Amino acid sequence: MVIKETRADGIRAAKQKWDSDFEQSVNAYNKMEYDYDMATETVMEQVETKIRAELGVTDNDLLEITADAYAGRFGGKYRTGIKYKYGAPFDKKSALNWHIDIYLNDEGEVQKETGSWSGLEVHTPELLEDLKYSVNLIEKIMNLDYQKIIMDAENVRPNRDDYITMKRPNRSDRPDFDKQIKEATIEDIIGTNTIISGSAVPSSGYRAVSGWYKILGQTAKRYKVTFVPDRTGTLTNQQLRDGLDSFEFQVNKDTLYQYIGDNFETKEI
């Protein structure tokens, strides 16, 4: 038996291809974005390494150094942050934990913001020594050439357009294939003995019941149909023919598409 391909079959194939192409595009875009982020992370790590080397502090728990490139994605420059024992604000061996943020303003001038969220504790010789260490470290931090450090990073900042060369895929661009499949299927069976499954539309006189539609004709916006309920799906072809040879009514096309759903069936009676 030769199986004839319908217009709906062609739309289903197009739907499958669109979904496959979309998935490939998403994967390609995500890979580009990942590569860009990794290149950006590399520059940030270089900034952090340079500052740490100039300060001579290798202990990450003692001194946390960060460089933020993403603050500059929309025109700003890199920001650097330095935190002293910030991960343990209630450490009894710490005189004071503090942070310093350094960045360039719109005029290219170095800006420094400082703060702390622990109180000062210097009631023991050990805490006093810790405070002296902090003061010496802060002095070193304040004397670094951040204009050069930040601009060196800016000069090697990855260009996003070099990495991401395509528009972000958007599923909202997807054609309404499901509606097209319903339109094509119904057009092929208008005036034939092939019927289509669906739930009863309100104008059928039935509510919340599944059954079968026979499509008799159409206008620009409506279909002329009959409907027979088939709650258990056990009606014979003869029973279906008898039931569909009954009340005819008009139904809006979009309404019928809604009530036949996406998993409809067709069969000849």
Q: Does position 118 have pLDDT exceeding 70, yes or no?
A: no
Residue 16 backbone dihedrals phi, psi, to 5 degrees: -60, -40
The least confident of 2-16, 159-173, 225-239 is: 2-16
Which pLDDT band, with edges at 50, 70 and 90, does 70 fall under? low
Q: What are the boundaries of each domain within the chain?
A: 33-163, 177-268
Q: What is the rounded average pLDDT for all residues in the chain?
A: 88
| DSSP code, position 173 | G
pLDDT confidence of residue 36: 93
How much is the pLDDT for 89?
58
Do residues 158 and 43 touch, judged by C-beta distance below 8 A?
Answer: yes
The token duo for 119 is 């109180």
Strand partners, 81: 66, 101
What confidence tier does 195 reach under pLDDT thresholds 50, 70, 90? very high
Site of tokens 């929309």: 74
Please report, rounded to a whole number, the percentage of residues in the chain having pLDDT higher than 90. 54
Q: What is the pTM of this model?
A: 0.74
DSSP state of 188: H
pLDDT in tens, 72-106: 544 567 788 888 876 565 667 778 888 898 888 87
Residue 19 confidence (pLDDT) above 90: yes
Q: Is 17:183 a contact under the CB 8 Å cutoff? A: no
Which residue spans within 74-126 are E strands per DSSP? 79-84, 98-104, 110-115
pLDDT (0 to 100) of residue 214: 97
Q: What per-residue confidence (pLDDT) applies to 90?
A: 62
Residue closest to 83 by CA, chosen among 112, 115, 129, 120:
115
Predicted pLDDT at 61: 67
pLDDT digits (tens, 9 = 90+) for 232-264: 889 999 999 999 988 899 999 999 999 999 999
Could you tell me if 178 and 11 are in contact, meaning their C-beta atoms sit under 8 angstroms apart?
no
Supply 108's token pair: 């290219």
Query: Residue 186's pLDDT band (boundaries 50, 70, 90)?
Result: very high
Residues 182 and 261: beta-carbon distance below 8 Å = no
Average pLDDT (5-15) is 93
Quickly state the pLDDT bin for 2 (edges 50, 70, 90).
Answer: very low
DSSP structure class, residue 202: G
Q: Shortest CA distance to 43 belongs to which of 18, 3, 80?
A: 80
- The dihedral sign for the CA sequence 233, 236, 240, 243: negative
Q: What is the pLDDT of residues 203-217, one digit of tens each?
A: 988 888 999 999 999
> Residues 205, 247: contact at Cβ < 8 Å?
yes
Does residue 177 carry a pLDDT above 50? yes
Give me 97's structure tokens: 């934990």
Average pLDDT rounded to a whole number, residues 143-163: 90
Q: Distance between alpha carbon 167 and the CA centroid of its chain, in Å?
A: 14
Nearest to 215 by CA among 245, 195, 243: 195
What's residue 1's pLDDT? 43
Given this model, what pLDDT does residue 263 score? 92
* Two structure tokens written together for 178: 């499901």
